Structure 1
């Protein structure tokens, strides 16, 4: 039990750190007009928002599960819908960000046209529409098999409670694999095309080289996010074998495939992007200056 306490505390510390970082990045995003009028930064903000929501919801469910609290099944369905939606928003947005880098490097003359503010808003709508499809499919299979009285019952909120029959798992797995293949093919295609441009430039085009590295980081982050989609199926299989093994693997999956991908976005754009990094450093210095001034006023 003590080790479990330590695990919960570690998760709380990591979640608080990542949410604070995300909030700082969101504040930086809105601090300059250039950021919220440029497509890649707009998409970056979308990932920050979805990552923050999924961190908060997953942490709430973790705490409720740890203290054995129950909630109304209807409310749990709402949590589940938001959770699944945000789970897909991040990888779909990463795929869109990769396509934006492909357009910027391979089609530079059309970049301003294809990646305008208006197209950015359309992209956000498309991203959330595509992300809602798995959610609609999974919830529809649940509604089709659940009784009306179930929604008023109080149970421990878990993602496993939405699967009654084996065919529901098959449908869920099929949808996840379909999305995985489409996004993986898009990432690979973009990488190959950008690599061609980088080779044609004989390694002198810094923009192509940096874009290639960004796509690789997106691919790694996307891989972690997509592995997360397979985790529930692995955990269900392990639960039938060994309870303690199931607990250990579930904790490892949460740290590796839910928390870890959410800390890569600050690395990719918060630190690697020169313009965003400068604005971020300025905001941090400004924040420290304000805190220092308030402390001095307090002492006086």
Structure 2
């Protein structure tokens, strides 16, 4: 959500705007292909880590799609009805937090699998996955609910009928709303960081005590946790971007535009391409299914031709 207004500048499409569209198109195609692979095996949608992986893919697709729409609308200064803007804001606000919370849940799943192997089958069931997804969405909706509750309580009725350039800032009528939302985000950041560090330390202890195949499996799980931590860090840094951008705006408007563009590329687009690399390519079973699905598609296309 670091870029909600515009990359601004001239209305003529420039190279930066074209680069954004190319990256968004590539990442969406990759994620959709991985989602299609997820439904090729019963094992995937009955195993918690693959179910959570699919949730991150769907969440990333929604965030990429919605933020790209808002970037295009803002770039060309297109006004839309407030009701439509409200829908876009709710989806974007919710799924901005769903991805980092799901990554945290995936880290906990690895912790249970490695540090509590005897309870893994009991705790990480399909039903448990659905309950966890519901909890993730409930917690992720808290910032949105707080913002909109204050907005509906204080905004005039005429505002709902207006056409405006959609942005997150229009729902923050008072400066203290931004501080409140920031406090909630920092609390989320603290909790998720503690969970990541705790899981890393506990898995490290098991890794040092393990031997043979167990040691290899444990270190693989540890590497997965490290990658999750890096991806989670990128996702959470975007929560700080508005403060950086506000400071840049006070210094120079062109500098503000450049920083906002860089933030969008690094902290919104980049984390959305790491999920496929983590599970889509590193997980042997999923990678094999991905390869088979791709080869079968090429074969069917060749056969039909």
Name the TM tier (shorter chain): over 0.9
Shift of the 131–239 alpha-carbon distance from structure 1 to 2, 3 Å rule, reads same
Structure 1 SS opposite 2:173: coil
Structure 2 counterparts to residues 1-300 of structure 1, below 5 A: 1=10, 5-201=14-210, 205-295=215-305
Separation of aligned partners in 1, 2:206 and 2:47: 23
1:31 is paired with a residue whose SS is: coil
Query: Matches of 2:255 and 2:181 in 1, distance apart?
Result: 24
The question of whether the paired residues in 1 share the 8 Å contact of 2:11 and 2:75 is answered with no
Instruction: Kindly indicate which of the two structures has a greater share of residues assigned to helix.
Output: 1
Runs of 4+, deviation exceeding 4 Å: 1-4
Give the Å deviation of 1:203. 7.3
Describe the superposition over 1:210-266 as per-residue Cα deviations: whole angstroms up to 9, x where unpaired: 100000000000000000111122222322321111110111010000000000000
User: Would you say the 8 A contact 2:11–2:76 is kept in 1?
Assistant: no
Q: Is the 8 A contact 1:203 1:209 kept in 2?
A: no
Point out the more displaced range, 237-246 or 44-53.
Answer: 237-246
Provide the secondary structure at the position in 2 that maps to 1:229: coil
**Which has the higher relative contact order, 1 or 2, with Cα contacts under 8 A spaced 6 or more apart?**
2
- What TM-score does the superposition give when structure 2 sets the normalisation length? 0.94
In structure 2, how many angstroms separate the alpha carbons of the residues matched to 1:156 and 1:238?
Answer: 22
8 Å CA contact 1:22–1:52 kept in 2: the answer is yes
CA RMSD of aligned residues (A): 1.4
Structure 2: gaps spanning 5 or more residues: 1-9
CA contact (8 A) 1:235 1:246 kept: yes
Question: Normalised by the size of structure 1, how large is the TM-score?
Answer: 0.95
Q: Deviations over 1:73-101 (max 9, x none)?
A: 22211111110100000000000000000
Distance (whole Å) between structure 1 residues aligned to residue 187 and residue 273 of structure 2: 26
